Structure 1
Amino acid sequence: MNEGLTSAAARIRGCGAAVFVDVSALMELAWTGIANVTANLAREIYRALPEHSYFFARGVVIDPAALMTAIEEANGAYLEVLLENGFAQLGSIGDFSGVAAATVGLFPNIKTAHRFFDVEAVVFHDLSAMLMPELHQGWAAHVHTQALARDGESSEVVCCVSEATAADAKLYLGLDAERCVVAPLGVRPPPGEEPAQRMNYAVVLGTVEPRKNLRLVAEYMLNHGDLADRIALVFVGRKGWGQSFDDVFGELTINSPWRESIHFTDFVSEADKWALLRHARFAIFPSLFEGFGLPVIEAMAAGCPVITARSSSLVEFGLPDEMYFDPFSLSDFGRAFRHMETMPKNTMARLGAALKHQAARYGWAAFAGTLLNAVAARLEARERAALTP
């Protein structure tokens, strides 16, 4: 177990506290982004604090054995069916309010309760809804902006997944530095080795929505049909909102040389995603704004070189400068694309190995440990205050 997580767990036990984790995000059928964060956080906390951790959704405390089974299978439907049929329910969350001297509420996403627990911590992934509302649906931007302000104000610990997100939270929400803790997300590649020789395709990661900026890739492809004979592109991600699929990719799939060299997977399982990354020549992540950038670190962990936008938190990965591009510049994207396309295979292999080594620094146990240590500090301060005349 990670040393930081072991230390944090000991401090939580020393305070006689119980930790409640909101796993509402795991009710989704297909797990992406925040659901995967929630699953990994829940797994690490249960490993570190099996006798002191509880998990809840929709006001119901869930049997941890059932939850861990759902997490290992990455299957929200399994959990949904259990709860709908009255299985895996240990009671309402109110029934557990007196199980410990102090209670902690951890919210990996928007909080579903406020000031219900003695100490509450929320994870802030990004402030894009507030800072770039045009990249979100109108109702979503409004709801998430309100939630950011409300959740930040009602939490003793605000866990920001990058330095960029922490800076935004302090600047635009007025959060004091004492409550903000930076805890980069982790990566957990499944067992398996990269192939001896990668296949001749690039993986493009991201949902079809304005923020993911897939139009930049589509425009470049339209202007460079000659590349279709040299490399294929595989788009991995769901069809989202805003720009319709046909608006972005219609011309490519009907009237261009790319018709036979472009593939769309829609949502894929975790196993399939890792297989695609491990066999790809390189990956592309053109997003305009990210709070962390899980797809980038996943590509790195798969030993897959990746080009990405020079924006927001993505610069914190410290990739070689030539692997970054201006997300608003077609020519600069083309420079980065050509750099990858023309890179010798032996150079590409060395780069992939270096990126994989770099990604190993990002672990879910370290993420959970940083969060729990910040919570433990609050619990200890609370104890000291209670003892002070």
Structure 2
Amino acid sequence: MKVGFDGKRATQNITGLGNYSRYLIRLLTKFHPHNQFLIYAITIPPPELAISEVEYRYPGKQLIKSYWRSFGIIKNLLRDNIDLFHGLSNEIPYSLKTAGIPTVVTIHDLIFIRYPQYYSFIDRLIYKYKYRYAALHADKVIAISKQTKQDLMHYFGVNEDKIEVIYQDCDVIFHQQVTSLMKDEIKKKYQLPEKYLLNVGTIEERKNLMLIAKALLRIDNIHLVVVGRETKYTLTVKQFIKQNQLSERVHFLHNVAHCDLPAIYQHAELLIYPSRFEGFGIPIVEALHSGIPVIAAKGSCLEEAGGPGSIYIDPDDDVELAKQVKGIIDNNETKMKMVRMGKQYLDNFKSKLISDQTIHLYQNVIDNAKR
């Protein structure tokens, strides 16, 4: 089997869709090396994002490289005799069906439809057109959560049988226990407090960091460490923190090396992830692997990521959040039970299972196309 991938995110993005793209490709090359995998990209990836086990294809001399990604790539796919093309980040090239190339697309979320206030009008138009086209014209759609599957059916009218939910795991660096020496080094490097709650993710309104800041007013003797890219919303949160004399207890970490994150997780008391809506919630899975409890928000797919051992609260209830935090940090038995259940739930994200599900899907699409 020869599979081609859209490599825009895999070669350019260091978070989110880029991580998913590289994660899945690496899984497939590891567990199914007898297949051939090619990444079609506009630019050459930097060394830290390159995947040595695959071949790369580039547009060559093109005046408008974005045109190649949407249209011109078809010639390359036909020349390379690709058996299947997988759009890893919500979109696919146009006219693949006309060219007779079987297609799979991964749709991560439809947040821009559910929460349009977080997106510009132009972005919403572009996303809606591209996502809808991909979902309706691909032979099969991979949804990264049951929530995304339901949204695809509800908003785009995609047939349920066309969608398959395949979860994703986090980077394998979170799978291993960090040594005490490494923890001490990271603690010193980032000047971490002795005891802290952790929040990871872009600091934007939807992620709801303000809820944690409000809850912190009701919790004594513990700090909050925030890891994530800042946006305009960050200023609003920081103003609240300053006005309520919380500045000494809240620590914003900048330019954190990816390889340092496991130690930051494992040193934390627990992860709080109160996002109002997500396509999945990888930081939750990272926390489960790191052996710390999770408190997340109700209302989207975070229950799918955290499983029955995690706690879920209303994203507007800071009183309940504070209560649940104290219930964990003051009761070691509760904490250990949550950690244990979290580890058990990780069976849903085993790498071999995910790679096998994906290859099986590819093969079914290819077989159906030949009939």
TM over 0.5: yes
Give the stretch that moved more between structures: 106-115 or 317-326.
317-326
Q: Which of residues 353, 356, 359 is equivalent to 1:366?
A: 353
Residues 1:150 and 2:133 are matched in the alignment: yes
Any conservation in 1 of the 2:309–2:339 contact (CA below 8 Å)? no
User: Cα RMSD (Å) of the superposition?
Assistant: 3.2
Counterpart residue number, 2:340: 353
Any conservation in 1 of the 2:270–2:293 contact (CA below 8 Å)? yes
Quickly say closer, same or farther: Cα 1:323–1:115, change in 2 above 3 A: same
Any conservation in 1 of the 2:197–2:224 contact (CA below 8 Å)? yes
Residues 1:306 and 2:306 are matched in the alignment: no
Counterpart residue number, 2:89: 109
Counterpart residue number, 1:240: 231
- Report percent identity of matched pairs: 22
CA distance in 2, matches of 1:284, 1:266: 19
The AA in structure 2 aligned to 1:99 is D
Any conservation in 1 of the 2:278–2:300 contact (CA below 8 Å)? yes
CA distance in 1, matches of 2:179, 2:44: 43
Residues 1:251 and 2:240 are matched in the alignment: yes
CA shift, 1:298, in A, is 1.0
CA distance in 1, matches of 2:321, 2:7: 38
Quickly say closer, same or farther: Cα 1:160–1:51, change in 2 above 3 A: closer
Q: Which of residues 194, 204, 212 is equivalent to 1:209?
A: 204
Deviation per residue, 1:118-143 (Å, 9 max, x gap): 11111111111112212334333332
Counterpart residue number, 1:26: 10
Quickly say closer, same or farther: Cα 1:114–1:95, change in 2 above 3 A: closer
CA shift, 1:320, in A, is 4.4
Question: Which residues in structure 2 correspond to 1:1-389 (within 5 Å)?
Answer: 17-28=1-12, 31-47=14-30, 48-49=32-33, 51-58=35-42, 67-69=50-52, 94-100=75-81, 103-116=83-96, 118-190=101-173, 192-193=176-177, 199-221=194-216, 223-224=217-218, 227=220, 230-241=221-232, 243=233, 245-252=234-241, 254-317=242-305, 319-320=307-308, 323-344=311-332, 346-383=333-370, 385=371
CA distance in 2, matches of 1:138, 1:43: 36
Counterpart residue number, 2:69: none
Deviation per residue, 1:117-170 (Å, 9 max, x gap): 611111111111112212334333332222221111221111001111111111
Give the stretch that moved more between structures: 37-46 or 317-326.
317-326
CA shift, 1:111, in A, is 2.2
CA shift, 1:194, in A, is 5.5
Quickly say closer, same or farther: Cα 1:141–1:199, change in 2 above 3 A: farther
Any conservation in 2 of the 1:187–1:364 contact (CA below 8 Å)? no
The AA in structure 2 aligned to 1:306 is V
The AA in structure 2 aligned to 1:240 is T
The AA in structure 1 aligned to 2:128 is T
CA distance in 2, matches of 1:37, 1:160: 12
CA shift, 1:349, in A, is 3.4
What is the TM-score normalised by the length of structure 2? Answer: 0.82
Count of residue pairs brought into register by the alignment: 341
CA distance in 2, matches of 1:321, 1:138: 39
Structure 1 regions of 5+ residues with no counterpart? 1-16, 72-78, 85-91
Quickly say closer, same or farther: Cα 1:274–1:165, change in 2 above 3 A: same
Q: Which has the higher contact order (CA 8 A, sep 6+)?
A: 1
CA distance in 2, matches of 1:118, 1:125: 22
What is the TM-score normalised by the length of structure 1? Answer: 0.78
CA shift, 1:234, in A, is 0.3
CA shift, 1:195, in A, is 6.5
Counterpart residue number, 2:66: none
Counterpart residue number, 1:88: none
CA distance in 2, matches of 1:358, 1:298: 12
CA distance in 2, matches of 1:49, 1:65: 21
